[in-house]
Structure 1
Amino acid sequence: MSIDVNEEFAVERARQLEAARDWERALQDNLAAGTVERLPDGRYRVVTGWDAGEILSANGVPQHGLDLSRGTAALYTSAPAWHGLGNVVPGGTSDIDKVLELSGIDYGVDSVPATYLWNGETRVDHELFHTVRTDTGASLGVVGKGYEVIQNRRAFEFLQELVADSGVIWESAGALRGGKKVFVSMRLPQHVTVDAEGINEQILPFIVAINSHDGRTPYQTVVTPWNPVCGNTERLAVQDAITRWKIRHTRNAIDRIKEARRTLGLSLKYYDRWATEETALARTSIAIDEFNQLIDSLWPPEPATTSRSARNRETRRNRLHGMFEGETRRTGRTAYAAERAVTDYLDHYVPIRPSAASGLRGNKPAARGLRLLEGVDDELKSKAHRRLMLLRQR
């Protein structure tokens, strides 16, 4: 059969043009609706929903950082994601096996001896091992002989008991950095309400579990509230709250994971107390000078600042003030609005520089998401909460 390359080119070009027109129409609709904003460098930022703060290129290409080892994005979600990738199950599912399969994290991980060449001869290093995916053979990290692999299913299956006990649904799951890091998240069935008689803010309680195979980071579970209005994730800053549980990949790691269920049960009891404190913040007025004092307490002025650091400080202050004013229009000029502004800044705007070692160099959105999951800014969020709670005693 003969092939008319000119006709094929014309068909392909028409397809490309139609796809470009579809993207442009969708972009204009999103810009008009205020769900996407254009950035000075020509890219676009998602500003609402789950994906607030995520970046699209000027051509609409998502910068997601998801694993693509199997040819498709390793992601399961109960609602369509901003980048249109992954397997969507509307409303979610309670079946962990289905979640692992749809998210592309149903692969196993083996530990194999590290080898090296010496004078043309392959030798084995008995002190070092590679963690390797059993489906693709890709190396995920270099570890010592005391490292214990925690298989993805074993890492997350204990949460299935919470699904059975509480009626929660798996919200999302996926793999990052070629499968070196995997995660699952579930949403609890009850909302948490802040200031029911006032702003009546609905907060969603989540549990996130994160497993890694790179030899660099521990296994951990996180209990966190999520504010769907601004896409921020909070931390329970109240006294004695257990919100992040970690174990290293060492001997008996699997047995210790069983302890997490009891720990999570303790953490969940703090949601009501957290909501009580947030309601108190929502009913505490704050002056602009007090907001400036909050900023200085979180980012203390440096004794000898360069012109560059001074500019960065001014940029941060201006950004925080703008975000605070936006929150005051929604929830009033309160300590609650101040906390939302600080959390929003830390989640979506604080400057980051992804390193080559992270595997996400040049991909700031993915690096920011990983930073959020790993709780890099947890202490600053808690510090802001504690300081703002003191304003009740004025």
Structure 2
Amino acid sequence: MSRESLRWLNQNTLIGFTAKRGSAWHYRASEQGDEPNHYSGPIPVDDVKRRLFAWTPIEGTVETSYLTDDGVTRITDPTRKTIIRPDTGTVLGVFSQKFRVHEYKRWLLENLETILDDELFIGSAGLLKNGAVAWVQVEVPESCTTPEGITFRPFLSAATSLDGSLASTYQTGAQVIRCDNTLSASLAEGSAKRIKVKHSRNSLHRIAEVRDALGIIHRVADDFAEEVKRLCQVNVSGAQWNSFLDVQVPIPRERGRKRTLAETKRAGLNRLWNHDDRVTPWKGTAFGVIQAVNTFAHHEQVVRGAVRAERNMLRMVTGGVDELDLSTLQTLERVLDRSVLRKVA
């Protein structure tokens, strides 16, 4: 990771409840700005507004110029507009006039403030892609521990974008403390508890619907604990684990780069399964399989086109975590008798 990337993460993300979960892996004291970005307890709403969302995006025109025999010609496209971050002068996106800006303070903070109380607080917030993407995450103050030994923090995240890459998205999840992973909160259902609002002309009419639905975080802890229990009761033998790998990471017959990458990934998953304490306590279970694949994706898989922390955060806010865990479970079902999972459920 470049120094510039480290500086961005240390100055444009806020991490709360570090007394419960420890410091973020990207924390560097030397890269902090005027204020530390870690909080031992919850992050104050005013700090999120002041440190991250003090600016308001503005709309600009789309203009261009080109050289002809008669000189320079300038034109403006009245059907298009730009979205600009005024404090840096960065153009975050170019859109049709139908695009509706979901301003961060309103769509992230004001919506979430309606559910903040003595039991729910802001646990993290940040800007990505030079401010084109933002999120705020709400958590309960105390971590939860299941009888199977999984300590986790249920959360509800709100995220949106100014570059069109992400609809305003509200969804639940669970952060596993031992490995700093984000897991889907609804593995058995095969679908996340998620609400998406596109940047369309009618999007403002859905704000009330979003606020009414945010109460789902109170059910996340029970749902996730039930999923852990269910998956820990499904046995996965050594032979079934190898069969899972054959489907999950097939090794090409021909030698070359693809085969090398597959062999490296398979070796990494085997090492986590057999020797890494982020996975070994649940080795031999369906939950152990989920944990191995999720841990590899979060901390070891090759990242291209982004830094690992940004990729992990984007996966969390866009629903990629749910897709990853669901895909793993579907592959495992192809190896095991499907009725086994249904009987436990």
TM-score normalised to the size of structure 2? 0.81
Query: Does residue 1:353 correspond to 2:291, yes or no?
Result: no
Q: Distance in 1 between matches of 2:289 and 2:126?
A: 33
Q: Which amino acid aligns with 2:205?
A: D
Contact 1:66 1:177 in 2 (8 A): no
Q: 2: distance between equivalents of 1:242 and 1:127?
A: 36
Structure 1 vs Structure 2: percent identity of aligned residues?
Answer: 22
Which of 83, 89, 94 is matched with 1:137 structurally? Answer: 89
Normalised to the residue count of structure 1, the TM-score between the two structures is 0.72
Match for residue 28 of structure 2?
83
Q: Secondary structure at the match of 2:210?
A: helix
> Could you say which residue in structure 2 is the equivalent of 1:64?
6
Give a deviation string over 1:209-267, Cα, whole Å, max 9, x none: 11211123222122110101001101122227543322221112233233223333346
Instruction: Tell me the SS of whatever aligns to 2:114.
Output: helix
Q: State which of 52, 56, 59 in structure 2 corresponds to 1:108.
A: 56
Match of 1:29 in 2: none
Structure label with greater radius of gyration: 1
* Structure 1 residue 382 corresponds to structure 2 residue 326: yes
Corresponding residue SS for 1:64: helix
Matching of residue 213 in structure 1 with residue 162 in structure 2: yes
Q: Is the 8 A contact 1:352 1:368 kept in 2?
A: no
Please name the residue that 1:339 is paired with.
290
Q: How does 1:245-260 map to 2 (within 5 A)?
A: 245-260=195-210
Distance across 2 between alignment mates of 1:122 and 1:65: 39
AA in 2 matched with 1:83: R
The 1:377–1:352 alpha-carbon spacing in structure 2 relative to 1, beyond 3 Å, is farther
2:78 to 108, 118, 126: 126
The answer (yes or no) to whether the contact 1:163–1:169 under 8 Å persists in 2 is yes
Gaps of 5+ in 1: 1-54, 355-359
Give the one of 170, 180, 184 matched to 2:132.
Answer: 180
- 2:229 equivalent in structure 1: 279
Task: Say if 1:65 and 1:177, in contact at 8 Å, map to a contact too.
Answer: no
Query: What's 1:150 paired with?
Result: 102
Aligned pair count reads: 318
3-state SS of paired residue (2:327): helix
Is contact 1:92–1:170 with CA below 8 Å preserved after alignment? yes
C-alpha separation in 1, matches of 2:135 and 2:212? 20
Cα 1:65/1:187, change in 2 over 3 Å: same
1:96 deviation in Å? 2.6
Alignment of 1:288-327 (within 5 A): 288-299=238-249, 305=254, 307-325=256-274, 326-327=276-277
The answer to whether 1:74 aligns with 2:12 is yes
Q: 1:76 to 1:380 in 2, by over 3 A?
A: closer
Tell me by how many angstroms 1:268 deviates.
4.7
SS at match of 1:163: coil
Contact 2:245 2:266 in 1 (8 A): yes
- The 8 Å contact of residues 346 and 377 in structure 1, kept in 2 or not, is answered as no
Residues 14 and 126, structure 2, Cα contact 8 Å, conserved in 1:
yes
**Alpha-carbon distance change, 276 to 368 in structure 1, aligned in 2, over 3 angstroms:** closer
Query: For the aligned residues, what is the CA RMSD?
Result: 2.8
Task: Label 1:290 to 1:62 Cα distance change in 2 as closer, same or farther (>3 A).
Answer: farther
Give the C-alpha shift of residue 344 in structure 1: 0.5
Check whether the contact 1:64–1:366 (CA below 8 A) recurs between aligned residues.
Answer: no
Q: Is the 8 A contact 1:242 1:263 kept in 2?
A: no
